[in-house]
Amino acid sequence: MWNHTMFGPAYEVNMDSLDRVLHDPLVLAKALTDDTTKAEGVLTSNVAEFIGWERLPDKYRANLSESTVEALKTFPDDWPELISGNGHVGSFSLPVLQQPLSGKQYATTLGGITAPLSRGNVSISSSSTSDLPLLNTAWLSRPADQQLAIGAVPADA
């Protein structure tokens, strides 16, 4: 299993964010009405307004270990190592239901590794198709991925 690892620091903002729509029934009702009757408003967005792919900038690459630099050379020269974007990041399993419940507005500077060296796996847990498989994401299990993640946060900030 070879997945992008998404992460980022969340911080309080002094403006409306998607949190307001998700936690205020009146705002949600208006947003649903605007979306369904006029095809406009906050719900017409996929939330990820800005996404970019890049290699870790040189000023942060200088902090990588020699072994990480060598490991990243296994990818083609034009292969991006990071993806960045805006949005609140929590668990991606149910993002709408896993927003902060403080009533405040939040944003996250999203980062992700597009050249991960960590590899996970999927195992069958039983002979029954009703039983879910066992997932081992192994996210950030390789030092190179950990170093890229650390470098990505200031690169996106």
Give the model confidence (pLDDT) of 49-59 as tens digits.
667 788 988 88
Q: Choose which CATH entry (3.40.50.1820, 3.90.1300.10, 3.30.560.10, 3.40.50.300) describes domain 5-156.
A: 3.30.560.10
Helix (H) or strand (E) holding 84: strand 82-86
DSSP class of 98: T
Helix (H, G, I), strand (E, B) or coil at 155: helix
Predicted model pTM? 0.70
CB atoms inside a 10 Å sphere around CB 68: 21
**What pLDDT was estimated at residue 154?**
67
In whole angstroms, what is the distance from residue 97 CA to residue 3 CA? 23
**What pLDDT was estimated at residue 34?**
96
Task: Please answer whether residues 79 and 39 qualify as being in contact, where contact means their C-beta atoms are separated by less than 8 angstroms.
Answer: no
**One pLDDT digit (tens) per residue for the chain, 157 residues:** 888 888 877 778 887 777 788 788 999 999 999 999 999 988 887 766 667 788 988 888 999 999 999 999 999 999 999 887 655 666 666 666 677 778 788 777 778 899 999 999 999 999 999 999 999 999 999 999 999 999 887 654 4
**What pLDDT was estimated at residue 29?**
96
**What pLDDT was estimated at residue 49?**
64
In whole angstroms, what is the distance from residue 21 CA to residue 96 CA? 10
**What pLDDT was estimated at residue 91?**
64
- Report CA dihedral (17, 41, 109, 52) to the nearest 10 degrees: 180
